[in-house]
Amino acid sequence: MMSPFVRFPTIFYIEPTNDCNLSCIMCPRKKNGKAVGYMSFDLFCNVVDQLIDQKILQVSLHLTGEPLLHPRIAEMVRYAKKGGLPYVRFATNATLLNEDSAKDLIESGLDSLTISMDSSTAPYYCSGPTGKDLFAGLDQNVRRLIRLKNRHGSNFPEVQMQIIRMEQTQGLIDEFVTRWQGIADQVTVQPLLSWAGHIKAPKKRGRRRLICMNHLTQGVVQWDGDVSFCCLYIDSRGDSEGVLGNATHTSLEDIFLGTRRRKIIEAQLRGNYDAVPYCKNCPDWNDFLDCLQTGEPHTL
């Protein structure tokens, strides 16, 4: 009999692209062995249709790239919302959030937009000259979005300003929170994630290991249709170790209720955390419990 814990996930990440116009120091992209590409609109619609049928709760349209680089991102949101997905969000670095894209997003029905940097944090995230010219206008891009939203008489997308707690930003956090409180709908301080040990991050507290909630609740579809079990999976060795299947030729139901995922979940429930070598030394499974304890949302 199948374990009652093996259910279709309720939270999905769909990756419109793994391309980005920046190169942040805490970003896992540079460790990713996967080719850079953009999801086709047909594949996107196929995936979303299945998620609508499965009545999932939330879709995040980002993974390891900048969603606003995808020329059809607003159309993607519109398709997902029209189809009935209850909560659609994504995270952006806001460099491409100009007047047109802001209007498109407001009209698309997007529920929430996480903005992962502002002009004070960007220079610490992005070492080197790459984004310097882009940074000056970041705050203006965010403020314009909020202004347009108000003018449109809409509360959506909710704007969440986010700062990552790390050595370089520790001294900026209070000022960041004060600056955006009352302007953004939400201001969050996120822990630095290690992406299963690929990025150097502060040590987590020493808990007895438990099953990772991501295995139970999350599904991920990468730009080329590869499906994995966690938003922190990157194909660092180019061996597709964490890929459960591919959505271009297999249904998501077959992938997520299939033998491979069932075995992973059952192994973890038995305390065999080596069943997925990628997860073996990952400390990030702690974050879900940390968030429950601190009450801070965890919003990759």
Contact positions toward ligand SF4, by CB under 6 A?
Answer: 20, 22-24, 27, 29, 64-66, 93, 116, 196, 212, 214-215, 229-230, 232-233, 278-279, 282, 284-285
Closest CA to 110 of 127, 87, 131: 87
Nearer of residues 45 and 173 to ligand SF4, judged by Cβ: 173
Shortest gap between Cβ of 291 and ligand SF4 (angstroms)? Answer: 13
Q: What whole-number distance in Å separates Cα of residue 262 and Cα of residue 216?
A: 10
Nearer of residues 76 and 109 to ligand SF4, judged by Cβ: 76
Q: What whole-number distance in Å separates Cα of residue 288 and Cα of residue 235?
A: 22
CB half-sphere exposure, 44, CA atoms < 13 A: 25
Shortest gap between Cβ of 39 and ligand SF4 (angstroms)? Answer: 15
Shortest gap between Cβ of 182 and ligand SF4 (angstroms)? Answer: 25
**Cβ neighbours around 291 below 10 Å, total:** 16
Nearer of residues 109 and 231 to ligand SF4, judged by Cβ: 231
Query: Could you tell me which residues are beta bridge partners of residue 112?
Result: 89, 158
**34, 81, 176, 202 from 165: Cα distances, Å:** 28, 32, 11, 10
Cβ neighbours for 72, distance < 8 A, ≥ 6 positions apart: 16, 41, 44
Nearer of residues 217 and 246 to ligand SF4, judged by Cβ: 217
β-pairing verdict for 186-191 and 243-246:
unpaired
Shortest gap between Cβ of 264 and ligand SF4 (angstroms)? Answer: 9
Shortest gap between Cβ of 277 and ligand SF4 (angstroms)? Answer: 10
Encoding tokens for residue 282?
């990952």
Nearer of residues 138 and 230 to ligand SF4, judged by Cβ: 230
